Amino acid sequence: RIESILHLELGEYARSLGGKASLAVEEFSRALYRMAYTLISNMGRDPSGEIADVIAEYRRSGLRAGDVLDVLDVKKQVLISAFETAKLVVRTKEMLYKHKIKVKIGGKSIRG
């Protein structure tokens, strides 16, 4: 459920930015929405309705919504690690491009 709230907050934050940063934050927000959607769907519930309910409750109270306690610290660390990994991949690609290095991954050649 925390993913739904993060999706909402990051979406609003993305609108305050400009350029590529806005697009990157918005895409990360969408990824969080897809995570929430998939998790709720796998529980056999209506994802759209559940997410809407969580967001509505959050907007009303500003506090945790629902009867499920999220393992916030674990999810927070997973999201931080995912973001840091994505940054590392982008930096690596930029370095390969800058130095025009050729790398072979999975049988495919990638030239920087």
Domain map (residue ranges) of the chain: 1-67, 71-112
The CATH-assigned architecture of domain 1-67 is Orthogonal Bundle (1.10)
User: pLDDT tens digits for 27-38?
Assistant: 988 998 898 889
Q: At residue 66, does pLDDT exceed 70?
A: no
User: pLDDT tens digits for 54-63?
Assistant: 888 888 876 6
Confidence of residue 17 (pLDDT cuts 50, 70, 90): confident
Give me the long-range contacts of 38-43 (CB less than 8 A, separation at least 24).
39/3
In 1-112, alpha helices (H): 2-16, 19-42, 47-61, 72-99
Regarding predicted confidence, which is higher, 99 or 30? 30
When pLDDT is averaged across residues 6-14 and rounded to a whole number, the result is 86
Give residues with Cβ within 8 angstroms of 26, minimum separation 6.
10, 11, 14
Indicate the range of 24-33, 88-97, 101-110 predicted with least confidence. 101-110
